[in-house]
Chains A and B, each alone.
Chain A
Amino acid sequence: MQHDRVGLGWRPELAAGIFDSLDRIDILEVIADNYVDADRAQRQGLAMIARDVAIHLHSIDLGLAGSDEVATVRLERIARLVDDIKPEAWSDHLAFTRSGDIEIGHLAAPPRTPASVEATVRNVRKAARIVGSVPFMENIATLIDPPGSTLSEAAWIAGIMSASGCGLLLDLHNLYANATNFGFDPLAFLDEIPLDRVDGIHIAGGKWISSPDGEKAYLLDDHLHPVDEAVFGLLSEVASRTAQALTVILERDGAYPPMPELLAELDRAREAMRAGRRRRAAQEAAHIQTADAG
């Protein structure tokens, strides 16, 4: 088995700290949308980094989980970037970002129905055809349950993965936030999704916000705060339930702490995974002993 890896989302503000700490960062995740319009020199710079450290490209704006057919021109731009940078993998979200001429401007959860499973699968297949590799698809956080949903989030994700053949980029803070806001058990969610198809994991932090009338609290996934201990707990749980190597990316989008604090969070993620792996090994050993005794 390959080793579990832990890395960081590439942000220009963190560049100096990242380059000083490459011995403690296994992988970088680069936001594709920031580079699709980049000039040749900028792409070469990124390709140069990719020679020193593994890179994943993470796309935000494709809206692959929408009913609209994803625009070929958007995928061709990602394909050119993938050709230039040669990342290990690329990913996008289980979200829609536009509908017809309406641009939402960010990730939105579509109504979870068999029709949206079908539309997402169609778009993932088109993306794979044009870009040349199947994207990993990430579960998103939402503050509102989309109307008309007939499937649970877990069933919807499992349906898309099964029909499209894509892997899952499991965002554990998104899962934690949704579980908190909508009152479901994140461990039951993990029971329902095909964990053997998880390759990448996102961890991040968030904060509590109130509704405008101040009467209801929500956990917002804002990537501006330290990772909650509950998220490390979920990471340990996933590590204990999976056999394949996992790649964990810490996402931080602002309010940057000193680099040692981010590196400490990466170390905490490694520790959480090791704890999960140890638990798995102990369970397997106990299972073998039971089988031998039988």
Chain B
Amino acid sequence: MQADLERFWARLLTEPDFRARFIADPAGFAAQNGLSPEECDAVVRTQVQDLHTAARSYAAKNAGKRPRSSDRWWRRWLPFKAL
């Protein structure tokens, strides 16, 4: 089911422990997490090298994220412009 596969995929990309357990036993771990035989076949074909690279990229992006707030710049600029 698409939702199960997406959830599994999202965890592989973001959770180091989950990823390590998958890499240790791809087919067994996928089956243990409720993926169908077809989905297990699909995830087993994942390139580990690509997975590590993508996961590192997500970790870097999340670490570098600014807090989701409005730009402080506006607070300085607005009163001046509004006059």
Contacts and interface: CB of A to CB of B under 8 A. Distances in A.
Contacts of B51: 144
Interface residues of A, number: 47
A99 B49 contact: no
Contacts of A147: 5, 9, 39, 42-43, 45-46
A100 B74 contact: no
A145 interface: yes
Contacts of A15: 73, 77
Contacts of A215: 49
A68 interface: yes
A110 interface: yes
A64 to B, nearest CB: 13
A269 to B, nearest CB: 25
Given A104-B14, A104-B58, A211 B53 contact: yes
Contact of A39 (B3, B6, B7, B70): B70
B10 A144 contact: no
Contacts of A41: 74, 78
Contacts of B70: 34-35, 37-39, 42
Contacts, number: 121
A23 interface: no
B53 A216 contact: yes
A66 B46 contact: no
Interface string A1-25: 0000000000010010000000000
A187 to B, nearest CB: 24
Given A12-B73, A37-B69, A108-B13, A220 B6 contact: no
User: Which range holds the interface residue count of chain B?
Assistant: 35 or more
Interface in B1-54: 2-3, 5-7, 9-11, 13-14, 38-39, 42-43, 45-47, 49-54
A99 B62 contact: no
Interface string A45-87: 1001000000000000000001110000000000000000000
Interface string B48-83: 011111101110011001001111111101100100
Name, among A15, A34, A115, A148, the residue most crowded by chain B CB atoms within 10 Å (CB to CB): A148
A137 B6 CA distance: 20
A104 to B, nearest CB: 5
B3 A216 contact: no
A132 interface: no
17 contacts: A34-B71, A37-B68, A42-B78, A44-B78, A45-B74, A45-B81, A48-B81, A99-B3, A104-B13, A106-B62, A115-B2, A143-B54, A144-B50, A148-B5, A148-B43, A209-B53, A213-B52
Interface of B: 2-3, 5-7, 9-11, 13-14, 38-39, 42-43, 45-47, 49-54, 56-58, 61-62, 65, 68-75, 77-78, 81
